[in-house]
């Protein structure tokens, strides 16, 4: 299983998604993880057994272009990342406006500011 991750520019995701789509790849998953600085969002695509990961580094609170126009199903990931990490996606095919996963604390996985009461320490943030 391919664990190699290509870093790309945040502005390019729509283009990449477009090429992937026309190349017959399907969207496997979008994963958000806290990085040393800001966050990474990893887009994974697959065609048959060719699995590819593209990663963008984004600072907190940035607005990210949605890939909803290429992959109609991306809205579930985008809304989820919005609700859990507090990123805004522009142009989602179905925008739940923060009600996709309603949480008792806003953006529980977001670093600093308001860590969820029970999420004690997010290690990278300390560095």
Partner 1 sequence: MYPPELIAILILLLVPVSAAVLLAVFKPDLVRNVLAGITSVIIIGASVFLAWKALIAPVSLTLEHTEWIGMLLFIAEIGVALVILGLSIKYRKILPLLLSVIQLILILILEFFGIAGPHAMTTFTVTGLSAVMVLIIGIIGTLICVYALGYMKDYHDHQIGVPVRKRYFFALMFLFLSAMFGLVLFNNLMWILCAWEVTTLCSFLLIGYSRTPEAMKNAFRAVWMNLIGGICFTLAIFFLLRINTPVNLLSVTDLLAFPNVSALTIPLAFIAVAGLTKAAQMPFSTWLTGAMVAPTPVSALLHSSTMVKAGVYLLVLFAPLFSQTWVGIFLALIGAFTFLATSALAISQSNAKKVLAYSTIANLGLITACAGIGTAEAIMAAILLIIFHAVAKALLFLCVGAVEHKIGSRDIEDMDGLLVRLPLLATMMVIGISGMYLAPFGMLISKWAALEAFLTAPLGYVFIAILAFGSAFTIFFWTKWLGKLFMRMNRPPAEKIALHISEKLSVIVMGVLVIGCCLGFPAIITGVIIPYLNGIHPYFYLGNKGFFYFDTLVMLGLMAFILLFLVIGAFLGSREGRTIAPYLGGRAVDSEGRFLGSLGVYKEAKTSNYYLEEYFGEKVLLKPSWVISGVLIIVMLVLGFMGVMIWI
Partner 2 sequence: MSSASKSPWLLHYNASSCNGCDIEILAALTPVYDVERFGIINTGNPAHADIFVVTGGVNEQNKAVLKNIYDQIPEPKVVVAVGICASSGGVFRECYNISGGVDTIIPVDVYVPGCSVRPEALIEGIVKALGVLEEKRAAMEAKK
Partner 3 sequence: MTGRQTIIPFGPQHPVLPEPIHLDLVVEDERVVSAIPSIGYVHRGLESLVDRREYQDFVFLAERICGICSFTHSSTFCQGIEGLMGIQIPQRAAYLRTMWGEYSRLHSHLLWLGLFADSLGFESLFYQAWKIRESILDEMEATTGGRVIQGVCKVGGVRRDVANSFLSGMDDRLDEIEDNMKDLTNVFLNDYTLKKRLVGKGVLSKDDAYYLGAAGPTARGSGLDMDIRSTGYLAYGDVGFKPVVEKGGDGYARCAVRCRELFQSVEIIRRVITDMPEGDVFTPVKGNPDGEYFSRSEQPRGEVIHYLKGNGTKNLAQFRVRTPTLTNIPPLVSILAGCELADVPQIVLTIDPCIGCMER
**What is the Cα–Cα distance from 96 to 78, expressed in whole angstroms?**
10
**What is the Cα–Cα distance from 90 to 47, expressed in whole angstroms?**
26
Judged by beta carbon distances under 5 to 8 A according to partner kind, the member of partner 2, partner 3, partner 1, none in contact with residue 27 is partner 3
Binding site residues, partner 2, CB under 8 A: 102-105, 108, 116-119
DSSP H helices in the chain: 13-22, 75-85, 123-126
Judged by beta carbon distances under 5 to 8 A according to partner kind, the member of partner 1, partner 3, partner 2, none in contact with residue 97 is partner 1
Binders in 68-107 for partner 1, by CB under 8 A:
94-99
Q: Which is nearer to partner 3, 64 or 67 (CB)?
A: 67
Binding site residues, partner 3, CB under 8 A: 1, 3, 5, 21, 26-29, 31-34, 44, 49, 51, 53, 71-77, 80, 94, 96, 99-103, 108-109, 116, 118-124
Task: Answer for the pair 8, 54: CB distance below 8 angstroms, yes or no.
Answer: yes
Nearest distance from C-beta of residue 27 to partner 3, angstroms: 6
Nearest distance from C-beta of residue 116 to partner 2, angstroms: 4
Task: Answer for the pair 65, 13: CB distance below 8 angstroms, yes or no.
Answer: yes
Instruction: Indicate if the alpha-carbon torsion angle 88, 94, 99, 102 is positive or negative.
Output: negative
**What is the Cα–Cα distance from 33 to 37, expressed in whole angstroms?**
11
Binding site for partner 1 (CB under 8 A): 94-99
């Amino acid at each position: 299983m391919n664990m190699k991750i290509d870093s790309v520019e945040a502005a390019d995701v729509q283009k990449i998604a477009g090429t992937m789509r026309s190349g017959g790849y399907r969207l496997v998953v979008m994963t958000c993880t806290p990085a040393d600085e800001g966050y990474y969002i990893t887009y994974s695509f697959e065609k048959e057994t060719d699995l590819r990961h593209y990663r963008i580094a984004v600072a907190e609170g940035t607005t990210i272009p949605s890939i909803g126009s290429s992959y109609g199903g991306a809205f579930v990931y985008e809304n989820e990342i919005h609700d859990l990490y507090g990123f805004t996606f522009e142009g989602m095919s179905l925008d739940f406006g923060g009600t996709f996963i309603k949480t008792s604390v806003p953006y529980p996985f977001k670093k600093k500011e308001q860590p969820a009461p029970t999420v004690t320490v997010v290690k990278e943030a300390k560095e």
